[in-house]
Amino acid sequence: MEERFKLYFQLIQQLLACPEGEELELLEANSDLFDLGLLFAMQWVANDFAENDNSNTSEWLPSFAQWLVQQMGFNSADEMYQEYLNCLFEILQAVAENPTAEVIYPLLKNHLEKLNLNLGFVLYTWAKETLSTVESEQAQAIARGIFNFGSLIRQFPVNKADNLELAIMAYQNALIILTQKDFPVDWAATQNNLGNAYTERIKEDRAQNLEQAIASYENALIIRTQKDFPVDCLQTARSLGNLHFDQGNWELAIQAYQKAISAIEITRNCATNDLRRQEIIANSMDVYEKMIQACINKGQLDLASAVRF
């Protein structure tokens, strides 16, 4: 969200510098930034100008923001914020009570018009303020609720692009409390899900999204080791390997798949019967197949022939 704030302020500077009458054209060219966050950023900039005795700007900017709010069907930015905050509270309360798709998706369908970056801005600002002020136990519960919301909204099938943005914001806010030091397992799960969200992300630069996904998966694997959490390690290492495989980064794919295969073998050795061992292999065949293909593509035929399953 911090990067988005930078874009808000850049656009505001452009609005202040553009010729009179061209403001709406500039906004239309940057329509992806036209949301509640921009309106509040305008107010913050106007307040800063007022404190520095720049009366013309401090008067024009909030007036323009107010006109924009009215075009969006609200009387004020505060009223708009409160309406989205009420929506957020209703969703988070439902998630806290029963974080299942069967319960939450009908509720999300009732709020389709608010599943956008306005809700993301409200989530960001509310969580950042709230998580730093409430008691530790309550902060943990809120953070886990936000994490569950992120997981649910990421897979909600309507308006996928904005849902992924909301999921990323949710996971990032959950990490305020679910730190590596204090909650390593939760931190790793959040990093893994961030990797999934960045991999699937529709908006922003694709290459940067994939870099973020790789970094998130690698973070998760700090905790999700083959020895300590083989099932979770397999999940994350498989995703990381597939991402590198799809990009043609054969050596990195091989390294990730080696971790995944090690986790598979540990899980299989812990299985209590042959049926379960066969099931584990059957569910992991794609890892072995892609490992072999990556080795062949890399020219490491000896390593490819050494793969056993």
pLDDT digits (tens, 9 = 90+) for 212-239: 999 999 999 999 999 999 999 999 999 9
Are residues 100 and 87 both part of a single domain? yes
Domain end, chosen from 200, 223, 246, is at: 223
Q: Are 220 and 198 in contact (CB under 8 A)?
A: no
Calculate what percentage of the chain has a pLDDT beyond 90. Answer: 89
The DSSP line for 125-177 is HHHHHHTTTS-HHHHHHHHHHHHHHHHHHHT--SSHHHHHHHHHHHHHHHTTT
The CATH number assigned to the domain holding 109 equals 1.25.40
What pLDDT does residue 48 have?
86
Are residues 261 and 306 both part of a single domain? yes
Q: Give the C-alpha separation, 152 to 137, whole Å.
A: 23
Q: Are 139 and 98 in contact (CB under 8 A)?
A: no
Calculate what percentage of the chain has a pLDDT beyond 70. Answer: 98
Cβ-based neighbour number of residue 275 at 10 Å: 9
Are residues 205 and 92 both part of a single domain? yes
- The domain total for the chain is 3
Written as one letter, the residue type at 110 is N
What pLDDT does residue 54 have?
66
Are residues 184 and 106 both part of a single domain? yes
Q: Are 35 and 116 in contact (CB under 8 A)?
A: yes
Q: Are 221 and 259 in contact (CB under 8 A)?
A: yes
Domain end, chosen from 196, 223, 250, is at: 223
Place of tokens 């505001």: 12
Are residues 171 and 41 both part of a single domain? no
Q: Give the C-alpha separation, 134 to 95, whole Å.
A: 19
Positive or negative: CA dihedral 178, 182, 186, 192? positive
What pLDDT does residue 50 have?
80
Are residues 158 and 247 both part of a single domain? no
Could you tell me the two tokens for 238? 């498989």
Mean pLDDT across 12-36 = 93
Range of the domain at 309: 231-309
Written as one letter, the residue type at 174 is A
Q: What is the DSSP letter of 308?
A: -
Are residues 65 and 144 both part of a single domain? no
The CATH number assigned to the domain holding 246 equals 1.25.40.10
Domain end, chosen from 55, 73, 91, is at: 73
Are residues 103 and 214 both part of a single domain? yes
What pLDDT does residue 308 have?
84
H/E segment holding residue 24: helix 23-29
Q: Give the C-alpha separation, 199 to 15, whole Å.
A: 34
Chain centroid to CA 22:
34
Cβ-based neighbour number of residue 38 at 10 Å: 25
Q: Give the C-alpha separation, 165 to 152, whole Å.
A: 13
Mean pLDDT across 169-178 = 97
pLDDT category at 25 given cuts 50, 70, 90 is: very high
Are residues 22 and 112 both part of a single domain? no
Are residues 301 and 202 both part of a single domain? no
Q: What is the DSSP letter of 204?
A: S
Are residues 105 and 143 both part of a single domain? yes
Are residues 97 and 118 both part of a single domain? yes
User: Phi and psi for 175 in degrees, rounded to 5?
Assistant: -70, -15
Could you tell me the two tokens for 202? 């529709």
Written as one letter, the residue type at 263 is A
- What are the pLDDT digits (tens) for 30-75? 999 999 999 999 999 988 888 876 666 768 888 999 999 998 899 9
What pLDDT does residue 55 have?
65
- What are the pLDDT digits (tens) for 160-172? 999 999 999 999 9
